[in-house]
Chain A
Amino acid sequence: MKYIDEFRDNALVRALSEAIRRKSKQNIRLMEVCGGHTMAIRKYGIQQLLPDTIELLSGPGCPVCVTDRTAIDRSISLAGLPEVIITTYGDLMRVPGTASSLDQEKASGADVRIVYSTLDALEIAKLNKQKKVVFLGIGFETTTPSSAVAILEAHRQKVSNFYLLSMHKLMPPAMAALIDQGVCINGYIGPGHVTAIAGADMYKTLVENYRISIVISGFEPVDLLQSIYMLVSMAEEQRFGTEIQYRRAVTKTGNIKANEMVDSVFEPADDSWRGLGMIPRSGLKIRNTYRQYDAALQFDIPVLPSYEPAGCMCGEVLRGMKKPAQCGLFGKVCTPVNPIGACMVSGEGACQAYYNYR
């Protein structure tokens, strides 16, 4: 497939691996903050292609994993309301809440439907006028524009029974919070598709405040190794800043049209992340103009106390403080078939990535 095969080329992978070995002198730790990178690094055995001087860590790159339990529990509570149809990306179905999951609610009779696109959710609303259709808006900068389009389209087409529960999050505040919380890293393997939308300029403040290196990376093995080579070069030459490896999709300004749509519908708000806690202005809430579509305001969502499962180290794993295998539950009671924590549920959670590619 074009734009995939050439970035899996064996000879290029070997050349990059050798170039990194020659270049790397000092010990460095690099963190990836995108679930797609977590999966690709494990799947292609990228760590095994690197010298001992380079340690790769997984960070909070999986939206399902970082969504805290209170938010999951609120989604599950909404599914229990008789007038509601829940529409969601498949990723959320099996994520355990405190007492149930969307999957379990569906099995018990709740109307929960997996959709491919937010516009499919809008179609469901148009076909079910007597019901209230809620889309569970989850994801980072990559995914938020699709939610914005759904609200703008609902408004344009005057669909009054469509709602969105915004759990959308912003990546740079979390990248800053990680460093504030004492995670020691030399650089970030920057999220490719988040930045394809938001633009590499969004890291300016982060880079200036923390004097850190970020290389925005693609998702194929050649992309990841080239990004690591660039980060090693920056460390050896004592440079910091933002560089783009994934140039075929990422620019400094990103997708301006998509960002304008997001800005017209959403505004930053404080938000709580699993493992990282409350981070100022790290979430997105629906602007007052579109309040009629905001499920958080339009429903009286019953909330029960939420708590994390005993022994689960998902929070520490998301901060890069623990490797999945250091959790006592990993691979014993917590497996992809019977997941205890969110990091094992999601196809791009660090625990599932480590489990599948042991």
Chain B
Amino acid sequence: MCLSIPAKILSVDGTTAKASVGGAVVNTSLHLVDDVKPGDYVLIHTGFALQKISEAEALETIRLIRELEAGT
């Protein structure tokens, strides 16, 4: 039930936004997040953007695993 999916913000209109989920466009509420702009990635859950996704942290996670791989 806590399923949330990554979506790319396409446009913002007040407290709602249009977002792309793998190409499908959905409406999402922005009541729970501040400073969201087109191009940002957010997690969507039950029609609400829950949290912005950090690209830097995503890359860092992958880098740490590659380091582990390289260390073998």
Contact = CB atoms under 8 A, between A and B. Distances in A.
Contact of A2 (B6, B48, B68): B6
Given A116-B46, A245-B61, A255 B33 contact: yes
Given A116-B46, A117-B46, A119-B29, A226 B6 contact: no
Nearest to B21: A1
6 shortest A-B CB distances, which residue pairs? A117-B47, A15-B69, A248-B58, A142-B2, A247-B57, A3-B6
Interface in B23-65: 29, 31-34, 41, 43, 45-48, 50-51, 53-55, 57-58, 60-62, 64-65
Given A119-B47, A149-B32, A247-B60, A194 B54 contact: no
Given A3-B6, A36-B3, A258-B50, A248 B29 contact: no
A17 to B, nearest CB: 11
Interface string A86-110: 0001010000000000000000000
Interface residues of B, number: 34
B2 A140 contact: yes
Interface string A263-305: 0000000000000000000000000000000000000000000
B22 interface: yes
Nearest to A225: B65
Contact of B65 (A35, A120, A226): A226
20 contacts: A1-B6, A3-B53, A3-B58, A11-B69, A15-B68, A15-B69, A34-B2, A62-B1, A63-B1, A118-B46, A118-B47, A140-B2, A142-B2, A143-B2, A145-B32, A145-B50, A193-B4, A193-B43, A248-B58, A249-B53
A contacts with B: majority SS: helix
Nearest to A229: B68
A156 to B, nearest CB: 11
A12 B57 contact: no
A138 interface: yes
A149 to B, nearest CB: 5
Contacts of B54: 247-249
Contacts of B62: 6, 12
A262 to B, nearest CB: 10
B16 to A, nearest CB: 9
Contacts of A231: none
Contact of B53 (A36, A91, A245, A248): A248
A214 interface: no
A324 interface: no
Contacts of B34: 257
B47 A257 contact: no
Given A117-B46, A258-B32, A2 B1 contact: no
Given A19-B68, A62-B1, A142-B2, A255 B47 contact: no
